Amino acid sequence: MRRQVRCECGYVARGRSDDEVIALTLAHVATNHPELADTETAEDVRNWIELVPE
Ligand SMILES: [Zn+2]
């Protein structure tokens, strides 16, 4: 199963492990939503992960 996280702006982070998707999502937030970067943690992102069939 692949993992993905959908951002409210339409960006979708995809990866093969939770940690990979979390890192991509946090990097996206830091770049595109800096106002949210202080409030969104890795644990928050972990809760948003969706499992996607290959
Ligand atoms: Zn976004």
Tens of pLDDT along the chain (54 residues) come to: 999 999 999 999 999 999 999 999 999 999 999 999 999 999 999 999 999 998
Residue 15: helix, strand or coil by DSSP? strand
pTM as predicted: 0.92
Model pLDDT, residue 33: 97
User: What's the angle, vertex CA 32, arms to CA 16 and CA 10, rounded to 5?
Assistant: 60
Q: Which domain holds residue 12?
A: 2-52
Distance 10 CA to ligand 1 centre (A): 6
CA 54, CA 40: separation in Å to the nearest integer?
28
Distance 27 CA to ligand 1 centre (A): 10
Provide the domain count of the chain. 1
Buried b (16+ CB within 10 A) or exposed e, 15-51: beeeeebbebbbebbeeeeeeeeeeeeeeebeeebee
